[in-house]
Amino acid sequence: MKLKIENINKTFLNDKTENKVLENINLEINNGEFVSLLGPSGCGKTTLLTIIGGFQKSEEGKVLLNDKIVTKPGIDRAFVFQNYALFPWKNVKENVMFPLKQQKVPKIEREKKLAELLEIADLKGKEKMYPHQLSGGMKQRVAVIRALACNPEVLLMDEPLGAVDFKMRQNLQEQLENIWTKNKITAIMVTHDVDEAVYMSDRVIVMSRDKGRILEDLKINLDRPRNRHCEEYLDYKDTLTKTLERCYDI
């Protein structure tokens, strides 16, 4: 067992009113599993992901990674933030290479890795550009490859491809799947895109606005790479869409 989320409770205080966002959330994620989190806006997906990442604390419950309690962020968990969170004063190359420099990876290896990653995200020739000169989709692609650069054990991604265009998005889904398969990473991805969830995931979790309650935990039993047009694939999409529609009645 890789990741255990035990009895997580999280309440925010806004103007003295308590907002209980997560109540008794329990999840077990296996080694090498790819899990997607789906759910309406505000249901607590980012909150849960940041607690797993160690960026926020819950009042109750704990997150265990390989039986060790997560108390803070660590290099074993790479995080792709919903708002990209690139360093504005660093260009594309410096952003992507930052985690490798921190880990003191030799320059030759860094350059090799950079070339590989730029190729994956179709960012070749953009190394010297700064975040403010990039489109939203380009910034997301930089954030994704920066997370991949340090070969994390667990990859936590908050809508990593939300701003990426249709073709590039499918392309990156395939690339991410390749990288995930090769490196046996455990991945948790927040997405609003049902097709993306079915294409990428071993399991899709649907959270509701009722304190993050898990409405569905659906295993996707399809061979990879997946055929987006086969009947079973479309059935999975249909099931998840119906569950999502139910979320809005809660």
Ligand X SMILES: Nc1ncnc2c1ncn2[C@@H]1O[C@H](COP(=O)(O)OP(=O)(O)OP(=O)(O)O)[C@@H](O)[C@H]1O
- How far apart are alpha carbons 52 and 11 in whole angstroms? 16
The residue (of 19 and 178) whose beta carbon lies closer to ligand X is 19
- How far apart are alpha carbons 102 and 214 in whole angstroms? 37
| Encoded tokens for 245 | 């529609």
- How far apart are alpha carbons 216 and 243 in whole angstroms? 7
Residue spans of beta strands (DSSP E) within 15-104:
17-29, 34-38, 60-65, 68-69, 77-80
Site for Mg ion (CB under 5 A): which residue of 36, 46, 186, 208?
46
The residue (of 42 and 136) whose beta carbon lies closer to ligand X is 42
Select from 53, 90, 104, 43 the least CA-distant residue to 74. 53
Q: How many residues bind Mg ion (CB under 5 A)?
A: 2
The residue (of 84 and 153) whose beta carbon lies closer to ligand X is 84
Q: Rule CB under 5 A: say whether 208 interacts with Mg ion.
A: no
- How far apart are alpha carbons 113 and 247 in whole angstroms? 42
* Residue with smallest beta-carbon separation from Mg ion: 46
What minimum distance in Å lies between the beta carbon of 159 and Mg ion? 7
What minimum distance in Å lies between the beta carbon of 11 and ligand X? 9
Residue 15 neighbours by CB under 8 Å, 6+ apart = none
Range in contact with Mg ion (rule: CB under 5 A) among 32-40, 43-51, 53-61, 225-233: 43-51
For binding to ligand X (CB under 6 A), which residues are involved?
A: 12, 14, 19, 21, 39, 41-47, 82
Q: Give the type of residue at 221.
A: N
Range in contact with Mg ion (rule: CB under 5 A) among 78-86, 124-132, 133-141, 194-202: 78-86
| 208 interacts with, out of Mg ion, ligand X, none, CB within 5 to 8 A per kind | none
| 110 interacts with, out of ligand X, Mg ion, none, CB within 5 to 8 A per kind | none
What minimum distance in Å lies between the beta carbon of 219 and ligand X? 22
What minimum distance in Å lies between the beta carbon of 13 and ligand X? 7
Select from 37, 33, 35, 36 the least CA-distant residue to 22. 37
Chain positions contacting Mg ion, by CB under 5 A:
46, 82
